[in-house]
Structure 1
Amino acid sequence: MSAQGMPGRIDHIDDVVAALDRLCAADPRLEKVRALAGDVPLRRAEPGFASLVSIVVAQQVSRASADAIFGRLASLVDPLTPHALAAADDTVFRAAGLSRPKVRTLRAASEAVLGGLDLVRLCDLDAEQAIAALTSVSGIGRWTAEVYLLSAAGHPDVFPARDVALQTAVGRALGIDPRPAEDALRRIAETWAPHRGVASRLFWAYYRHIRDREGAPPS
């Protein structure tokens, strides 16, 4: 824990385990969720442009579809850099299977990085500052920014409440029917501060248990 009481970054699996211990001690309801969820993965990725692209690709599609589309895009634009993506023809994006809104978002992200948005230094900012910087890019919303902070920065206290898999998992675990919408889930998650980052990982793992498929975005 930092001097201000905020946990350090989630950089290693040991950080996940320690934070889960503290989270479940604070909310004993989650002990059963943890037992059913099984292994709770680290879910970390290198900060930078490719990580952001993979998260944009994953917006509002299944994990399997996101993995397939990102795989095609990465093979068509190699290396996957802001310069290369900005220069890519629309036929490349169509071949990868990207929608027009996502193409616009990826082009806007390329231009933002080329214009000075530092996706690595951004990981050192306070969460709300970093989210504000990312969401200033056309097409990038709070979900994309929060997932980037979880996977690329290992931020300890971010919970992407707009995520449908998290809504489904929390609803099932806590007996909330219908599943909580974004605002309601965000209020629920506030009770798990300052360990919302590992709460996200826990409920993605629990979603995998109840649905037998991966619901977490790529990392």
Structure 2
Amino acid sequence: MTGPSSETLIEACEHLSARDAALARAFADYGVPAWRTAEPAYATIARMIAFQQITTKAARTIWDRVEAQLGTVCTEAVLGEDEDALRACGLSRPKIRHLRSIAEAVESGALDLERVHAAEMDEARAELVAVKGIGPWTADLFLMACGRLDAFPAGDVGLMEAYRLLRDHDERMESKAFTTLADSWRPYRGVAAHLLWAWINAERAKNYAADGGG
């Protein structure tokens, strides 16, 4: 799957820069961010569940073990695997329950990811969050991966931290206030999210290098 074109992203970044000085700074510093694309498939959501609430490094280790254990991450493999085997990969019991709940919804047809991919965003989001195990953050992240320019993972700490640093503020905005602010970035909230992620990751990489990689 391909993401939005470079022309679309440039136009969106210019639009956002005119709306918000912090985003203008991020665009000036970093440029056009790469879009994080993924197939509208069960494995995409499963990976998002596995990566929640733990460090990226730990999540990658766990996900590599899951892929090694299952071969192909799909509904049949997850539903057919022993829970202890999944626990041995590093998945918590709640995450295993969520993965199985989502797999059951896909198998039964209650969740049709191709239908979600083609639907209007509000309808797509509603179908996703109706499934036990898929919260608003995961739903919006999935929609972003499917190329929705205005999908926005409200409450994402990384986004709020990036915005704080760009504004040179001592404290992050409250989640509700940040979500309200993000409404001013429509119809490109997803582009704003990618821009903020790209900027803070680049800053962290620079700081890491400046510290000698230690």
**TM-score of the superposition, structure 1-length normalised?**
0.86
Q: Percent identity?
A: 35
Task: Pick the aligned partner of 1:201 from 167, 182, 194.
Answer: 194
Partner of residue 140, structure 1: 134
What is the number of equivalent residue pairs in this alignment? 204
Distance in 2 (alpha carbons) for counterparts of 1:42 and 1:14: 13
Q: CA deviation at 1:56?
A: 0.8
Q: Runs in 1 of length 4+ with deviation above 6 angstroms?
A: none
**TM-score of the superposition, structure 2-length normalised?**
0.88
Check 1:64–1:13 CA distance in 2 against 1; reply closer, same or farther (3 A cut): farther
CA contact (8 A) 1:11 1:44 kept: no
Task: Pick the aligned partner of 1:70 from 63, 76, 99.
Answer: 63
CA deviation profile, 1:102-134 (whole Å, cap 9, x unmatched): 011001011000010111220122222222211
CA contact (8 A) 1:10 1:16 kept: no
Q: Give ranges in structure 1 of 5+ residues lacking alignment.
A: 1-8, 214-219
CA contact (8 A) 1:37 1:205 kept: yes
Q: CA RMSD, aligned part only?
A: 1.9
Matching of residue 118 in structure 1 with residue 112 in structure 2: yes
What pairs with 1:147-166 in structure 2 (closer than 5 Å)? 147-151=141-145, 153-166=146-159
Larger gyration radius, structure 1 or structure 2: 2
Distance in 1 (alpha carbons) for counterparts of 2:104 and 2:49: 15
Aligned residue for 2:185, secondary structure, equals coil
Matching of residue 21 in structure 1 with residue 8 in structure 2: no
Distance in 2 (alpha carbons) for counterparts of 1:10 and 1:23: 18
Task: Pick the aligned partner of 1:90 from 58, 83, 86.
Answer: 83
**Greater share of helix:** 2
**More relative contact order in 1 or in 2 (CA 8 Å, sep 6+)?**
1
